[in-house]
Structure 1
């Protein structure tokens, strides 16, 4: 079972830089030391330093911290969120994301406040939080979404900081960082949806195996109710055809021809996905399971033998061709080929 790597080299480097700057600046008390790290020299107007070539100033304020709790709070989040984003997206993405979020959040804080005396990793932390929150919410294949309790706590803390009760805080950096993460994740999710191979179920990251459980009684009852809704579209004397793969695909095709998918409620779309998955199970020998992340349960298909592979269900929208005309048989053939190819590739030993 693949486990979350307990560390990230990128996070270790970021934390190390912050600690060194904190020590050398006596937690922000040495203005002379920090003059080259502030977004602008206090004696120089606007972004004249940056425009003269000192572009590091757009990033370096994130390494400045002004008290023990400030740095401890931020470094704990960098350690936790950083290793998760490093696992999901890789170090190169992580570094690029931190740099982009730092630039936007630092500029936002400076432009609004007109003061260079600010610092901290909080804008980046809120960027990481926003990215993982939105990706986890809209992309089922993303394995590092945020728990509801964490989302509520982070948003509540954001609001509390704006009240002024906690003293002077770079609130615009927090807000800008959060917006960067949210917008980035949303656009990336939309891009994934439009570029993902048509009709191919994603192979869910194996780190999710730690949450893989058998179907509960509630899961079974829900699935059976969805199957029953699909079966009811057969004439009574032809319902036995539902037992075959071709029969399942024919009824899905008939349902999609009766009424456009976009006009159907989510429950009906989910029912079509279940029966399409039933046909895959019948043809491939895959089994049903569910992933429990603590907040929700996601139905998946799994291989019966090692190596274990986990497949998400095929969204109902992928059962249609580009012109919205049902093409269920073709979608099934492509999905079947994709699954078999992935299983074969995973089972083939690397020379």
Structure 2
């Protein structure tokens, strides 16, 4: 396989950070000097296209390794730029916040019943659920997805929004907004259905099933095809898996923190690992 020219830049341009990023990703490359310019070479045209795209996103290297915080004014501007760079992630979070406002964070049952997995009626102190088959027969297919937008309480919303912002931006930067949308819908569908099948009729909601899917996707993808975007901080995967085991043990319910949608968490994680396995394997082959 012959070497392919990726970039040709003036000697005044500092390629050190980007070359360090390529080294961390284990991308074969070399830099030569020709006619007063520095030239970056990689083996193969497909890899060259990938590296060009990577340089457009991270010309100065991996931003996750910038250990010195920027001034407040720069951080503010950087956040605005992050919003612009992650439109799909931002859109999902804005929609989630809108639903949280309309549903009064779980207190407005008249609105929640239109977004819940099953329609229901409040009769005294009891909730009477409409069979799912009846709702689907009436064309209410959105119910298979929309529970991911329902949140019960400020803490529930804040934690899920924070993690979706962290994981969603990574996938949108690495694989694009269309892929993030597809994964979000897939993880939402699977996690909601697994929760329903495993626990039966019930009122549940939140992005946590999707989050475990995104986590599993990044985790396995990064394991197979190391890349800067999916390199999670040390301990994040371990912490999330420990929390999953704690929830499965029933300790949270015993301590009075309420029921946890464990089926959604497990279902999301498993399908996320599957998509990460597929995506990572394809990325590895392309390299």
Distance 1:76 1:141 in 2: 22
TM-score of the superposition, structure 2-length normalised?
A: 0.64
Corresponding residue of 1:19? 97
The offset of 1:193, in angstroms, is 4.0
- Per-residue CA shift, 1:8-49, capped at 9, x if unaligned? 211211111111211211111121111110111123113331
Question: Which of 55, 59, 65 in structure 1 is aligned with 2:141?
Answer: 55
TM-score of the superposition, structure 1-length normalised?
A: 0.53
Question: Which of 197, 200, 208 in structure 2 is aligned with 1:122?
Answer: 208
Superposition pairs for residues 112-151 of structure 1, below 5 Å?
A: 112-141=198-227, 143-151=229-237
Superposition pairs for residues 75-114 of structure 1, below 5 Å?
A: 75-114=161-200
Corresponding residue of 1:190? 281
Superposition pairs for residues 1-351 of structure 1, below 5 Å?
A: 1=60, 3=63, 6-7=82-83, 8-42=86-120, 43-141=129-227, 143-166=229-252, 167-194=258-285, 196=286, 202=287
Distance 1:181 1:169 in 2: 19
Q: Which stretch has the larger CA shift, 7-16 or 66-75?
A: 7-16
Distance 2:248 2:233 in 1: 23
Aligned to 1:118, the other structure's residue is in SS state coil
Distance 2:228 2:136 in 1: 37
Distance 2:111 2:245 in 1: 32
Task: Output the aligned Cα RMSD.
Answer: 1.8
Aligned to 2:99, the other structure's residue is in SS state helix
Unaligned segments of structure 1, at least 5 residues: 197-201, 203-351
Distance 2:152 2:229 in 1: 34
Distance 2:111 2:229 in 1: 41
Distance 2:282 2:235 in 1: 28
Which structure carries more strand by proportion?
Answer: 2
Corresponding residue of 1:239? none
8 Å contact from structure 1 (residues 135, 145) kept in 2 = no
8 Å contact from structure 1 (residues 137, 145) kept in 2 = no
Unaligned segments of structure 2, at least 5 residues: 1-59, 65-80, 121-128, 253-257
Distance 2:216 2:277 in 1: 10
Distance 1:16 1:130 in 2: 24
Aligned to 2:132, the other structure's residue is in SS state coil
8 Å contact from structure 2 (residues 216, 269) kept in 1 = yes
Distance 1:95 1:37 in 2: 19
Distance 1:52 1:193 in 2: 44
Distance 2:237 2:211 in 1: 13
- Per-residue CA shift, 1:90-145, capped at 9, x if unaligned? 00000011001100100111112112400000001111110001111111246413
